[in-house]
C-alpha cells in the first residue's frame, strides 16, 4: 500500500465514498466511515511490491489464481482498501472494480502505515472467510512476517538466509529474492559480504 496521509474528510457514507472515488484524482481508502488519501511510495516500497508481484505472477501463470497490485481495490465488509499485493482465486468478471475474496494479502510496512497495517487492517483482513495468509514485509530492515489461518493467525518470521513458505499458493521464495535491489543497511551489508566471498580464490 502507498503511504496513507491525512484524512480528506472526517466522515463520509459508503455510497458517497464509492461515487466520489470514481472521479477522485488520487486513490483513497475508506475505513470505519473515514476517507484517507494515499501518497506515492518510496523506492524500496515499490521494489518490494514489484518483486513479490512478479514472483507470484510467474508462479501462478496458467493457474486459476491471479495476482493484483495496489491499483486494485479490496472490499472488506463496508470498508475499501488498496493492499500492496493480493492473490485471488475466485471467479472474476472483467468489469469488476474491486476484489472481495482474496486468498493472500501482502502489505509492505512503512512508518506511516505500520500501525493501521498491524492493527485495524489485520483484524479486518483475518475476518475475510477467503483469506488464508496475511504477509507483512519490512522495508527498512529485512524481515517478513506471515500470519496463517492454519496456525490461528500466529506469526512466523523470516530473515536473510531463510525461504518464505506461501502455503496458500504452494510457493517457496527466498527472502533474498523478495528484497532484490532493495537498499537498506542489511541488504547493503549482505551484498558486500557476498561480493567479498565471490572474490576469494577457489580452494583446490
Residue that has been written with the C-alpha cell 497490485 in this structure: 69
Average pLDDT over residues 186-197: 87
Q: What is the CATH number of domain 42-199?
A: 3.90.1570.10
C-alpha cell at 50: 514489484
CA 123 – CA 131 distance, rounded (Å): 12
**Residue 98 and residue 76 in contact, taking contact as beta carbons nearer than 8 Å:** no
Q: Which residues, other chains included, contact 151 with Cβ-Cβ below 8 Å and sequence gap of 6+?
A: none
Q: Which residues, other chains included, contact 5 with Cβ-Cβ below 8 Å and sequence gap of 6+?
A: 36, 37, 38, 39, 112
pLDDT of residue 203: 66
CA 97 – CA 114 distance, rounded (Å): 26
CA 70 – CA 194 distance, rounded (Å): 32
CA 84 – CA 126 distance, rounded (Å): 16
Q: Of the ranges 5-14, 93-102, 106-115, which is most confident?
A: 106-115
65-98: per-residue pLDDT in tens? 999 998 999 999 999 999 999 999 987 766 688 9
pLDDT of residue 6: 47
Average pLDDT over residues 176-185: 96
pLDDT of residue 204: 60
C-alpha cell at 95: 468489469
CA 189 – CA 155 distance, rounded (Å): 26
Band of the pLDDT at 133, cuts 50, 70, 90? very high
| Low-confidence winner among 8-22, 32-46, 144-158 (lowest mean pLDDT) | 8-22
pTM over 0.85: yes
Q: What's the mean pLDDT when you consider all of the chain? A: 91
Average pLDDT over residues 130-139: 98
CA 162 – CA 41 distance, rounded (Å): 26
Q: Percent of the chain at pLDDT above 70?
A: 92
CA 137 – CA 45 distance, rounded (Å): 9
Amino acid at each position: 500500500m502507498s503511504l496513507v496521509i491525512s484524512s480528506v474528510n472526517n466522515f463520509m457514507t459508503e455510497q458517497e465514498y464509492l461515487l466520489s472515488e470514481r472521479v477522485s484524482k488520487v486513490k483513497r481508502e475508506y475505513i470505519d466511515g473515514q476517507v484517507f488519501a494515499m501518497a506515492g511510495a518510496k523506492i524500496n516500497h515499490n521494489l518490494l511490491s514489484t518483486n513479490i508481484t512478479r514472483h507470484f505472477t510467474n508462479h501462478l501463470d496458467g493457474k486459476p489464481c491471479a495476482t493484483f497490485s495496489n491499483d486494485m481495490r479490496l472490499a472488506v465488509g463496508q470498508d475499501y482498501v488498496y493492499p500492496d499485493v493480493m492473490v485471488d482465486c475466485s471467479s472474476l468478471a472483467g468489469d469488476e472494480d474491486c476484489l472481495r475474496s482474496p486468498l493472500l494479502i501482502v502489505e509492505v510496512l512503512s512508518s506511516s502505515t505500520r500501525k493501521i497495517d498491524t492493527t485495524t487492517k489485520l483484524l479486518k483482513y483475518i475476518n475475510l472467510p477467503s483469506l488464508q495468509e496475511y504477509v507483512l514485509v519490512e522495508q527498512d530492515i529485512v524481515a517478513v512476517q506471515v500470519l496463517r489461518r492454519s496456525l490461528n493467525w500466529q506469526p512466523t518470521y523470516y530473515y536473510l538466509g531463510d525461504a518464505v513458505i506461501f502455503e496458500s499458493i504452494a510457493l517457496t521464495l527466498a527472502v533474498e529474492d523478495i528484497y532484490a535491489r532493495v537498499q537498506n543497511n542489511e541488504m547493503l551489508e549482505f551484498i558486500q559480504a557476498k561480493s567479498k566471498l565471490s572474490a576469494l580464490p577457489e580452494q583446490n
